[in-house]
Structure 1
Amino acid sequence: MKFTKMQGLGNDYVYVNCFKEKIDNPPEVAKIVSDRHFGIGSDGLIMINPSKVADFEMEMYNADGSRGEMCGNGIRCVAKYVYDYGLTDKTHISVETLGGIKYLDLTVKDGKVALVRVDMGEPELDPEKIPIIMKGYSDESDRVLNAQIKVDGKEYHMTGVSMGNPHDVVYIDDVQGLDIEKIGPKFENHERFPQRINTEFARVIDRKTVEMRVWERGSGETLACGTGACAVAVASILNGYTEREVEIRLLGGNLQIEWNEEDNHVYMTGPATVVFDGEIEL
């Protein structure tokens, strides 16, 4: 199977052009290629497919083989792949995902895509649609805004957002010193998250800057998460911490996020990079 390894701020996936390749068992292939000792090494597998409703389809699987709805860093790399490898000559494209159709604007320099701006659509704040269980809890409401949650015997406050996939944003004082390997799985598999959850641990630096680390459902800690950065921006605005345009600082680099007041859409701008092309025998 021919593949291209790509990364967006260190959030790396194995990309397969399924206009040419055929994958019979994507969940199993995802587990094989993601292994950093016996495989290629990645946060998952992304298949670039034909689509009947958009220019392309992004079909993604996490490192544990579970299907993912959407990945902000991943979709930027899809945009770079389809342009740089000649599948399109358009600089405005649409990509079908399980989280809906996304629209992307490509900035091209010297014939290659350098930056991608993604219209991530409207954030979903309804607890039932994220989904986060609120019924039966003291802070039951129509939004998960600074809601209490007890994890591993400790009280936290979370803000819930879906960007096509479920997120809970938790503000803490020390992001860098957090033992995320210990607490991340406890959040991911908590009883209040019926489809598991992506958890962003965030700290507000100022009105235009937030730092975060992320524990991704099915992949563990990653260097960056585009949908997670969008969720942090939305949560920070909802809580009154930041302006509507904010820089999100992740371990792998920075993303510019805007929650547009007029159309209610979230826009994410960031880089995408090819690491290498290769071929693996499965």
Structure 2
Amino acid sequence: MTLRFSKMHGIGNDFVMVDARNAPLALDAAEIRAMADRHAGIGFDQLISIEQPRDPSCRFYYGIWNADGSPSGQCGNGVRCVAAWLHRAGELPLGETVRLESPSGPVAVRLLAADRVTVDMGEPAFRPAQIPFEADAQADRYALDAGGETLEVGAVSMGNPHVVLAIDDLDAPSLARLGPLLTGHARFPEGANAGFAQVVDRSHVRLRVHERGSGWTLACGTGACAAMAVLRQRGAVDDRVHVDLPGGRLQIDWAGPGHTLWMTGPAAFAFEGEWLGMAH
């Protein structure tokens, strides 16, 4: 099997983009894992297919798979790359706001430049059943037992589940242990992306994210949105925040409950290629 692809990234969060506008993508989890291998494959955090929409109000649909072959509901850095890919393909002009369909529902995107995109990520969902997260009632803070200690965390969905822990030191050795523990915590029945957020000031946050299905990543767009939303709910940050991740910076704007959250950041092409299949 030969499969043409584009390799892209959003501040280091990297993707293989596959054009499936004319034919559905037919890959199983084993093939996706082989492609994701950074030594014997292409290497990526997520695979993204660009397809015809299911929802007629949307211009295109995009599917998302993690490096372990599991499906994902949303990817903030990925949708910016989808928009840039569609622009290069002649499908999305600069300055036009277009609805795209993700596995978790529609999002609106607008290209500010060929390599810079702003995305309406929808309103953060804090109700435990929406995340999903096992809790008796919605709260800004939850006590969560992990690895023999009790942590104070926030929980939110940005189209995929997130757990956010505010910390003072992003270089603390405990993160290597806590990331996988939180990602696979039993109170998140579908797993969660674990974000570790350090508030520098009311408009500046530093963040590291351990993603379900992919592990530690250079950047996580929905993770930046989730961290800002949790911190904003607590009154710790203002309604515009710059989030610095290991791969670069995102701008997150959220005026609070009743408003949608906007994420702005870059999207870049790395190279084009052909995947020749597992036998090769």
Give the alignment's TM-score, normalised by structure 1: 0.92
For residue 205 of structure 1, give the secondary structure of its aligned residue in structure 2. strand
Q: Is it true that 1:105 corresponds to 2:110 in the alignment?
A: yes
Aligned-pair identity (%)? 39
For residue 115 of structure 2, give the secondary structure of its aligned residue in structure 1. strand
Query: 2:13 touches 2:218 (CA, 8 Å); kept in 1?
Result: yes
Q: Per-residue deviation at 1:179?
A: 4.3
Return closer, same or farther for 1:86/1:28 CA change in 2, 3 Å cut-off: farther
Q: Per-residue deviation at 1:87?
A: 3.2
Which amino acid in 2 is paired with 1:95?
A: L
Q: Per-residue deviation at 1:183?
A: 1.9
- Counterpart of 2:178 in structure 1 is 183
For residue 128 of structure 1, give the secondary structure of its aligned residue in structure 2. helix
- Counterpart of 2:123 in structure 1 is 122
- Counterpart of 2:218 in structure 1 is 223
TM-superposition CA deviations, 1:69-91 (whole Å, max 9, x none): 00000000000001112234463
- Counterpart of 1:44 in structure 2 is 46
Query: 1:181 touches 1:221 (CA, 8 Å); kept in 2?
Result: no
Query: 2:232 touches 2:256 (CA, 8 Å); kept in 1?
Result: no
- Counterpart of 2:248 in structure 1 is 253
Query: 1:180 touches 1:215 (CA, 8 Å); kept in 2?
Result: no
Which amino acid in 1 is paired with 2:159?
A: G
How many equivalent pairs are there? 272
Which amino acid in 2 is paired with 1:160?
A: A
Which amino acid in 2 is paired with 1:70?
A: Q
Q: Per-residue deviation at 1:259?
A: 0.6
Unaligned runs of 5+ in 2: none
Query: 2:74 touches 2:159 (CA, 8 Å); kept in 1?
Result: yes
TM-superposition CA deviations, 1:47-73 (whole Å, max 9, x none): 011113211111000000110000000
Q: Is it true that 1:93 corresponds to 2:98 in the alignment?
A: yes
- Counterpart of 1:138 in structure 2 is none
For residue 69 of structure 2, give the secondary structure of its aligned residue in structure 1. coil
Q: Per-residue deviation at 1:229?
A: 0.3
Return closer, same or farther for 1:216/1:258 CA change in 2, 3 Å cut-off: same
Which amino acid in 1 is paired with 2:116?
A: L
Query: 1:30 touches 1:44 (CA, 8 Å); kept in 2?
Result: no
Q: Is it true that 1:208 corresponds to 2:203 in the alignment?
A: yes
Unaligned runs of 5+ in 1: 136-140
Which amino acid in 2 is paired with 1:203?
A: Q
Alignment of 1:255-274 (within 5 A): 255-261=250-256, 263-274=258-269
Distance in 2, matches of 1:84 and 1:178, equals: 42
Out of 266-275 and 11-20, give the one that drifted further: 11-20
Distance in 1, matches of 2:276 and 2:119, equals: 34
Distance in 1, matches of 2:181 and 2:100, equals: 33
Q: Per-residue deviation at 1:150?
A: 1.3
Distance in 1, matches of 2:272 and 2:97, equals: 25
Give the alignment's TM-score, normalised by structure 2: 0.93
